[in-house]
Chain A
């Protein structure tokens, strides 16, 4: 699979690190927003949910998205982060909880079919939405979010995916609000969501 976004990914990683270090992120209203380096994060997408139905960014407008990119054959960091996301959303006050959708987007569409990503996301509860799509559709959303993803060969001809491991917070208008690093405790994720206005 071609992933022509390595440079952008590296830039995004720098921006993300800056964000984690507490650097100010300049917010702009509207779909997608510019972060400190003038880089747009987020934007329109058309992907498939667990039922194989097309879901676009507009379907989430009016709610906050807590977005994580990963893959279901990822045994360690993905389930840990997704579990933290689900726990965090469950910790929110009821009204806020209804406004936040945890979203898991695969970086491995070759293996993560709609049914697989749907079942997997559902296993974490909190009405987590799992999304996949064609290689092109997934590559497009990765590019918009400046996600780095690349195959990494493992024993037995198997492969893992190296991937950006960051939670993105998107506002009700689809605009980028900020990032939360993986490894952040659920209570702190919940606090950050509330601070973003959820």
Chain B
């Protein structure tokens, strides 16, 4: 498993039984400005035995959607994604310009230095809770 920056990776607890865990790394969210009610979070998922991400919640947002940025003929668009397959033993990165967690109806502006709690729902691993750092609006990756 990839080395995880422990200061933001609080816990990845499968729901109370010996379900196969999903490793979550490189998580971060982009800061929002006061007027913005949408935000975005990114992370990398890895399941040893294969799994499917079926949904995400956050106490900080009314709804979290899986979105994919698509580019066609130089035009950028966003598509809803119902679920995300995690092939066994492979890193699946949610990263700028690709698949991302879109936070809708953000309740309070996300400020750099805050942490964002996310609850990830997997078909096999159950619910996995993570906290990711909020980085400046200008951040483009987890290590900036």
Count of A-B contacts with CB under 8 A?
103
A125 to chain B, nearest CB (A): 7
Asked whether, in the complex, the Cβ of A80 is within 8 Å of the Cβ of B33, the reply is: no
Asked whether, in the complex, the Cβ of A75 is within 8 Å of the Cβ of B102, the reply is: yes
Chain B minimum-CB-distance residue to A179: B74
Query: Within residues 71 to 92 of chain B, which ones have a CB less than 8 A from any CB in chain A?
Result: 71, 73-78, 80
Query: Within residues 111 to 129 of chain B, which ones have a CB less than 8 A from any CB in chain A?
Result: none
Asked whether, in the complex, the Cβ of B96 is within 8 Å of the Cβ of A125, the reply is: no
Chain B 104-144, CB-CB to A under 8 Å as 1, else 0, gives: 11000000000000000000000000000000111110000
Chain B's interface size range is 20 to 34
Chain B minimum-CB-distance residue to A149: B75
Within 8 Å of chain A (Cβ to Cβ): is B40? yes
Residue numbers of A with Cβ under 8 A of B are 9-10, 12-14, 16-17, 20, 72-73, 75-77, 79-80, 82-84, 86-87, 116, 119-120, 123-125, 148, 152, 154-156, 158, 160, 162-166, 181-183
22 contacts between A and B (CB under 8 A): A9-B75, A13-B75, A14-B73, A72-B35, A75-B103, A76-B96, A83-B140, A119-B33, A123-B136, A124-B137, A154-B78, A155-B65, A158-B38, A158-B104, A162-B78, A163-B76, A164-B74, A164-B76, A165-B75, A181-B74, A182-B71, A182-B76
10 closest Cβ pairs, A-B complex: A75-B40, A165-B76, A13-B73, A80-B96, A162-B77, A83-B138, A13-B74, A123-B137, A16-B74, A77-B76
